[in-house]
Structure 1
Amino acid sequence: MDPKRAQEIASSTSMVNVMYNGQDVYIEHVDQGNGLATIHPIDNPNQKQSVSVQSLDEA
């Protein structure tokens, strides 16, 4: 996924299915300059991590 699309999803009021390593995740924040996204699994909001937006897939 490109950083611009990740930012669109993060800013959206509707839920968009995003996958990271086969797991449904929620995008909390996108750092477009560095190409990183702060995500967490849908079922575990306390398990935050920063990953490359390139590793995210829109389902």
Structure 2
Amino acid sequence: MNLMRAKDIKEDPNMRNVIYKDEYVYIEDIDDENQKATIHYVKRSETNFEVDVQELKEEE
């Protein structure tokens, strides 16, 4: 996923289907400078972690 699309999804009040390593995630924050996203798994929301934005996929 590109940085601009990740930012659009984060700002959208309707949750989109974003996938990281075959599991649905929620984007908490975007770091423009480092192109990182802070995410958490939808089914396991207790732990936030940072990944490269390009590792995220949007389900169509």
Report the equivalent of 1:4.
4
Task: Percent identity, please.
Answer: 39
- Which structure 1 residue ranges, 5 or more long, are not aligned? none
CA RMSD of superposed structures (Å) = 0.7
Aligned amino acid, residue 10 of structure 2: A
What TM-score, normalized by structure 2, do the two folds share? Answer: 0.93
**Contact kept in structure 2, 1:10 and 1:27, CA below 8 Å:** yes
1:1-59 equivalent positions in 2, closer than 5 A:
1-59=1-59
**Number of matched residues?**
59
Runs of 4 or more above 6 Å deviation: none
SS in 1 for 2:14: coil
In structure 1, distance between residues paired with 2:24 and 2:32: 21
Aligned amino acid, residue 45 of structure 1: S
- Which structure 2 residue ranges, 5 or more long, are not aligned? none
SS in 2 for 1:26: strand
Aligned amino acid, residue 12 of structure 1: D
